[in-house]
């Protein structure tokens, strides 16, 4: 099974095709387990978690294209970690966006269980911050490295330092999101050039990166930006649709 990462912005029924490959994998896993109704955990740790969980569940239902799915919604609260019951006995796990530090902290207690489930064939879908936390080293929300501005910030407020925290560990390079739309490529380049991360993949909005066994596939409107270290700098290339 695969890890499906969406760079944000995909929030309408017209975006449902981006979610369809994830839903198809969950349906297939349920069939292999003898279940006719796939169970998909939908987790939101957004400041508007209840609303966002419902919206993501509706997008997944739209993406099912006629197949019924059983969506289990979990709306997390700030400071209250998600428990293992939220991801127990499911055929797919979808994690929405929000403040990346809050999403990471809320799911940290179940990181090892998430790794076990994905290794056992449960597909994972991460949207925006839910995509960023899949890396071994997860980018935070900071806009500066060593006090130097590396991504857009409010000109009237000093930005925070970028910090790297332990993520789930489903992929071995850092994940950046909203890349072209929010000017985040520079931050990813700076993080790789500084050695804070060993490499990275940046995903545009309304774009999905599907990570399978030794394969990368891109779907949607934009590109995935690959940033790798080289002698004396970094190499930037795109993986197009």
pLDDT tens for each residue of 138-188: 999 999 999 999 999 988 788 899 999 999 999 999 999 999 999 999 999
pLDDT cut 70: percent of the chain above it: 99
Residues 7, 177: contact at Cβ < 8 Å?
yes
Nearest to 5 by CA among 117, 116, 100, 96: 96
Q: Quick check: 240 pLDDT over 80?
A: no
Backbone dihedral region for residue 55 (phi beyond 0: left; psi -120 to 50: alpha; all else: beta): alpha
Task: Tell me yes or no: is domain 2-239 CATH 3.40.50.880.
Answer: yes
Beta 207-212 vs 215-220: how paired, if at all?
Answer: antiparallel
- Band of pLDDT at residue 65, cut at 50, 70 and 90: confident
pLDDT at 232: 87
- Band of pLDDT at residue 241, cut at 50, 70 and 90: low
**pTM of the shown model:** 0.96
Q: Which is more confidently placed, 65 or 117?
A: 117
Query: Mind listing the pLDDT tens digit for each residue in 37-46?
Result: 999 999 999 9
Mean pLDDT of the chain: 95
């Amino acid at each position: 099974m695969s890890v499906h990462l969406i760079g944000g912005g995909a929030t309408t029924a017209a975006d449902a095709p981006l979610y369809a490959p994830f839903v198809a994998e969950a349906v297939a896993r349920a069939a292999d387990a003898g279940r006719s109704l796939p169970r998909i955990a939908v987790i939101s740790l957004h400041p508007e978690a209840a609303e966002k969980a419902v919206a993501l569940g509706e997008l997944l239902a739209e993406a099912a294209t006629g197949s019924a799915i059983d969506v289990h919604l979990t709306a997390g609260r700030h400071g209250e970690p998600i428990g293992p019951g939220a991801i127990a006995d499911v055929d797919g796990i979808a994690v929405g966006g929000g403040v990346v530090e809050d999403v990471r902290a809320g799911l940290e207690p179940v990181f090892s269980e998430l790794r076990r489930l994905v290794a056992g064939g449960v597909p994972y879908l991460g949207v925006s911050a839910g995509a960023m936390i899949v890396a071994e080293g997860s980018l935070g929300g900071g806009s500066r490295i060593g006090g130097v501005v590396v991504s857009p910030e409010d000109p009237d407020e000093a930005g925070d330092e970028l910090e790297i925290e332990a993520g789930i560990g489903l992929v071995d390079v850092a994940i950046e999101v909203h890349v072209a739309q929010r000017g985040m490529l520079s931050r990813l380049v700076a993080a790789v050039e500084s050695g804070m991360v060993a490499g990275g993949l940046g995903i545009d909005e309304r774009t999905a990166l599907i990570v399978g066994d030794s394969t990368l596939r891109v779907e949607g409107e934009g590109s995935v930006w690959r940033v790798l270290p080289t002698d004396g700098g970094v190499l930037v290339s795109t993986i197009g649709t």
